[in-house]
Amino acid sequence: METEAFAPAKINLTLHVTGRRPDGYHLLDSLVVFADLGDRLTFTPGPALSLDVHGEFAKGVPTDCRNLVWKAAEGVGWTGQIDLTKSLPHGAGIGGGSSDAAATLWALAGQGRDVPPDLPLSLGADVPVCLECRAVRMRGIGDKLSAVDLPYLPALLVNPNVPVPTGAVFNTLASRDNPPMPESIPGFESAEDCAQWLCEQRNDLQVPAIGVAREIEQVLDELNMTNRALMARMSGSGSTCFALYPTMKDAHFAAYEIGAAHPDWWCRATQLN
């Protein structure tokens, strides 16, 4: 029986690096939301595992055991044909591979496969939060998750089509022991209220990521100059950046404006929650 799954883009509204364990894993405090756009997967049971990748960003995506989708399927003992349509750019800080893996686990659990409790985190620090697929506060190494009630956030995502390797960003991080977010996240009545609070928070990887890819700074400048932008920040370890707006109309207008000025950039208006 064929099963379909959606793997939404993951956006780090905040990303505070609060420490580092002796084993090298970084400790984080991050407010994570998901977009209404992403990759799509189809699963057709069969005698052997195979993976085909299609779509705008299919080029360069492995179709063997190097792919997290493959590893997720193997982890639950499933075999068959997987078709992955890649709509999210690579090395973009929006959890493309992790979200694909989480969608795989969700879909195959629906086919009756048991997901071992330690499997999601073993696939990657972002896989457990991507399984939640809703607004979440993520702490620890990605293993401590708590749901957060946020309003819908009209947004624009922009990627300059420059992949940024996560390792290179962490290697240039000046401080690995930074303050977390406030213990309690307040309730917000609107996108404007949420954006005002977010302006007081951080993405500790933004400055080192700009050192790796200067294009990120240009994207942030362009987003901040769009009409009615409430705030702009980089997501994850980059290179995708986002801006929040009062309405989706504002976000779509900004997408048209930046898309016209930079037709080589990936630029999508979306709703976050």
Residues designated catalytic: 10, 126
Query: Which residue's entry shows tokens 């100059």?
Result: 225
User: What is the DSSP-derived secondary structure letter of residue 111?
Assistant: T
Q: Is the dihedral of CA 74, 78, 80, 81 positive or negative?
A: negative
* Cβ neighbours of 172 (radius 10 Å): 14
- Which stretch of DSSP H or E encloses residue 259? helix 248-261
Amino acid letter for position 127: V
Q: Is the dihedral of CA 160, 39, 125, 139 positive or negative?
A: positive
Q: How many residues in the chain? A: 273
Contact 214, 246 (CB under 8 A): no
Distance CA 145, CA 133 (A): 11
Half-sphere exposure of 170 (CA within 13 A, CB side): 18
Query: Which residue's entry shows tokens 């696939």?
Result: 123
Copy the structure tokens of residue 235: 């997501």
